[in-house]
Chains A and B, each alone.
Chain A
Amino acid sequence: MRTMLITLLLFLAPLSGCLLETEDDGCVSAQGSGGEGPLRILTYDIAAFSDEMLGEFTCNTGYEIELIYADDAGGILELLLQTQQAPQAHVAIGLDNTYLQSAIDFGLLAEHDVNTTHIDPTVMERYSGPFAVPFDQGDVCLNYDEREVDGENLTIPTSLWNLTEPAWKGKTVFPSPLTSSPGRAFMAATVSYFENDEDESTDAFDWWQAMFENGATVTTGWTEAYEIHYSGGYGAWVDGHLGDAALTVSYCHSPGVEAYYSGNWTVSTSLLLPRASFHQIEYGGLVNGGGNVEAANAFLTYLLSEEVNRNMPVNNLMQSVLVNATWPESEGYRYHTDVPEVKADLSTERIGAEMDAWLLAWTDEKNEAEA
């Protein structure tokens, strides 16, 4: 008994040192949002939401924040669908352009009241309707490990079909398009890639079939693919790392991020093949029926503000959507970031209309390969 009490006391002792100091912080006092309560943001683990950023929002506006987590952009859509009769969140952040149309078609989002005039028009071209605002963007593309793909062990692919050759057997990993938004984005890109290549007898799903037969690994999410399987990233230092894949799906600026965190050093680089990359835009929108509209609009506005959105590369590891967005120079971020010249050519409407069929076809190929 005594031992238990002592252990408990030792445990609680540090608490005394952690009593928060109250400061005179010059912030707006908590809004009489009254019955609405704190602003509930449904998102996945976007790093952009740092303490400072959220704290500043609360300080400036007085709106308190509460976060609800889903696993991924797909998880956000699912949660919105599950709770459609009784929405739990007020604003949803993180649906990308492979999920957005579904969200709109299901009536999950409400019209916002946010100024979007300062957003890059090319970004707004993708979607400029009233149900969502873009807040960051990036190009999804394949990354490979330069130590493995060095021209001796493996040569740099000049076509996606190279990845179906025996040398690449079991050395690729892809997050599943069913559960991962980068995975879904890349799969969409392959549709465009194979529609535009010289060979008219094959399509994306023939390629996927060949990839599965060539031992491509599929994971549920990007994190598992990148950290556990990909040999060229920071995953090498993570417990449980396997490093059995020399190539994975990530962002064209991921090597830049690697360099930024490792003192301008990385072995990862992007594979830039025409239309093998997908321009992903992430959106925020008001949840239909969620309420707390004023706070939600305020938050979206804040996300799009100059001081927050310009810092997306550092805070959120994605690019800003404002005009003249650039990558940071420091620690080789910009140097190691690759910029694809020709990206996949798919409209948001087409994605919305055909994504289900693509997912079914992808799943069929996977099932057949396992048979």
Chain B
Amino acid sequence: MNLASSKRTPFGVHPIQWLVLAFVIALGIGPLSLAFTRLWAVTGITPWEAVTQVYELPAAKDALTFAVLEATVSTVFTVAIGLPLAWAFGRYSWSRMRLKRSLLFLPFVTPPIVAAAGFLALLSPGGIVYALGIDLRGETGIIGWMASATGWEHPGHFIALITAHVWFNLSLVVRFVEPVVAQLDPRWEEQLRLLPAGQTRLGRIQHLWIPILGPATTVAAAYTFFFSFTSFAMVKWLAPASNTLESLLGEMGGTAGIEGYRVEASLAVLGIATFQTVMMLLMLILAGRFERKHSQVLSLHHEEANRRKHGAAPRVWSWFANGLLIMLLAPLVSVVVASFRVRSSNGATAGYEWTFEGWKRAWSGDFSTVPVYDALANSLTYAVITLLVALPLGYAVASSLVTLRREGHRRVAGMLDSLCMLPLSMSAVMVGLGMVAGILRWYPDLFSFPYLPVVPHVMLVLPFVIRLLTPAMERIEPKFAEQASLLSLGPLAFWWHSRGSFLVVPATMAASLCLAFSLGEFGATYLVVRVGSWDSLSIMVDQVASRPKFDPFVLPTAMALATVLMVVTLMVLTVNERARAWRVRHEV
């Protein structure tokens, strides 16, 4: 293996890798560009004109205002709760940490319809929140008093929505901040304690924790804002009187891009989608800048040694963290409970009965819905194919970016990195729009491609894969390749010892993320043709849950399906956590 001369092409990257880069970028921006082109053609006006026209619509303005407001409030509360949680998780040693982390991440990959059903169960009469005297749904009692005292129209709905967003995004804060806390060289803190500035807790917060955790927290806050801003199903179910830009898009998306039909809908979609895309792009660039700054590294220290040093969490922290986890589980537990419970109404009264009927129907399916194991098989098939496509593509892209940076072309690498991250700036509805109004409108034969849902899944998952593999590759010291070149190793062995073995863990994490996202993905897949026999489990949950509920078994059946989905997702996430723990133990 000859390392001395590595320049086969300009920039040092192999032509095939350039092709892959081009493909990945095209996959990211292609569908949406096609959609915009299509909408432009159908409406006859440019995206910018559409923005100005749509901006005059009160519905759009209201939606924007509401989205900004709820996203800001959600972010503030998420960080306020998530930061102490991340700090506690990172500092102390906890029992059953893997399970706790998996549970923490579960909300993030739960299909929104399942989460919404869980929250509604908690908030409605018969739910725990209602039982505590807080009626967030009907807004009676103390909430009603708040409404009339402040003139605020739907405080209960707003609070419910914020709570759901915090629930959803908490894991982001932990994911970004906890590793920083856990791996911080303890000498930094020790040194500060010896200095006047570090004598008080406030001083240490000011001079150590804020500077250290600031970048990671900012990144997490940016992503939280982004996900809350593009909230769709939660808004639809928990705050029905309000809209975000995303929910407006979702309602009209299916109508858009059809020549000569409901052109005003195409116009509205063009304007809203353009505006939202630009906003998201700006947020993404800002978040990306912060993240790059954040990943310029602190002196990393061995996590396990740190945890051992600080020991188990003090009682207050323990109650806080465990209590929070229990609360996080509450909506999901209520989903499981709802799968065994059916309402029996008899005229003016209604009660609940316990039954397995929902599960029986889920198992056997009917003509409208395939049996759950078929839907699960569909879901797993899509998930595995997503993985098999996204992982190699992500590896190739990460490898190119690392090579470019090592060869000194940081700007080019940065630019390409941002381009690859573009799908992150697209909400699920926009990805779906890109598929429907973009790809499928230009190439309608793709409708009959049974693995079509894999395309939006790969699009959404690739940025995460690249994000996981790139820093892992960058961390591999060149000396391993140099040493390997001095040994008589074949090409595959050379690759394995100099790079492959170091990527097993991040690749496993990327793989389980691919699987988890694909299993729960709903928004983009939803807009693609839903042929019954191809239905994924998450689509089927939505389908069954959306049926008119004069049949009381509709909800238990939907919740049984949702439970299966959650359990499988949890198992996949546990694999992710095992891999992470292995990495920590072996310092790889």
Contacts and interface: CB of A to CB of B under 8 A. Distances in A.
Contact of A66 (B123, B261, B366, B531): B531
B347 A265 contact: yes
Interface stretch (A110-118, A196-204, A220-228): A220-228
From B255, B445, B564, B574, name the one whose CB has the most chain A CB atoms within 10 angstroms: B255
Contact of B436 (A4, A67, A82, A242): A82
A18 B363 CA distance: 8
A27 interface: no
Interface in A44-82: 45, 47, 49-51, 54-55, 65-69, 71, 74-75, 78-79, 81-82
Contact of A234 (B138, B240, B345, B533): B345
Contacts of A241: 124, 137
A220 to B, nearest CB: 6
A7 B571 contact: yes
A82 B123 CA distance: 39
A254 to B, nearest CB: 10
Given A45-B547, A67-B368, A242-B137, A237 B251 contact: no
A5 B255 CA distance: 45
Contacts of A265: 347-348
A83 B571 contact: no
A66 to B, nearest CB: 6
Interface string B232-276: 000001001100000000010011001011101100000000000
Interface string B533-558: 10000000001001111111001000
Nearest to B441: A82
A261 to B, nearest CB: 6
Contacts, number: 146
B117 interface: yes
A45 B545 CA distance: 11
A179 interface: yes
A15 B367 contact: no
Contacts of A228: 240
B59 A68 contact: no
A242 B240 contact: yes
Contacts of A261: 550
B311 interface: no
A86 B445 contact: yes
Contacts of A106: 260-261
A140 to B, nearest CB: 16
B200 interface: no
Interface stretch (A272-280, A305-313, A363-371): A363-371
Nearest to A102: B261
B567 A11 contact: yes
Given A66-B533, A237-B350, A4 B574 contact: yes
B58 interface: yes
Contacts of A67: 367-368, 532
A86 B260 CA distance: 18
Contact of A240 (B137, B255, B440): B137
B122 to A, nearest CB: 9
A97 interface: no
A262 B345 contact: yes
A86 B59 contact: no
A219 interface: yes
Interface in A205-251: 217, 219-220, 223-224, 226-228, 234-243
A265 to B, nearest CB: 4
A217 to B, nearest CB: 7
A85 interface: yes
A191 interface: no
A83 B440 CA distance: 8
Given A18-B364, A370-B62, A237 B345 contact: yes
A257 B550 contact: yes
A7 B262 CA distance: 50
B120 interface: yes
A334 B422 CA distance: 58
A260 to B, nearest CB: 9
A151 B95 CA distance: 64
B120 A240 contact: yes
A8 to B, nearest CB: 7
B374 to A, nearest CB: 11
A78 B532 contact: no
A14 interface: yes
15 contacts: A11-B567, A45-B368, A50-B367, A51-B366, A68-B529, A68-B530, A69-B530, A75-B254, A86-B444, A178-B265, A237-B350, A239-B117, A240-B120, A240-B123, A356-B262
Interface of B: 57-59, 62, 117, 120-121, 123-124, 126-127, 137-138, 237, 240-241, 251, 254-255, 258, 260-262, 264-265, 338, 343, 345-348, 350, 359, 363-364, 366-368, 371, 373, 436, 440-441, 444-448, 529-533, 543, 546-552, 555, 564, 567, 571, 574
Interface of A: 4, 7-8, 11, 14-15, 18, 40, 45, 47, 49-51, 54-55, 65-69, 71, 74-75, 78-79, 81-86, 88, 102, 106, 178-179, 217, 219-220, 223-224, 226-228, 234-243, 257-258, 261-263, 265, 356, 359-360, 363, 366-367, 370-371
Given A65-B367, A81-B258, 13 more contacts: A11-B567, A18-B364, A68-B531, A78-B261, A86-B445, A86-B448, A179-B251, A219-B240, A223-B548, A227-B548, A240-B120, A263-B347, A360-B264
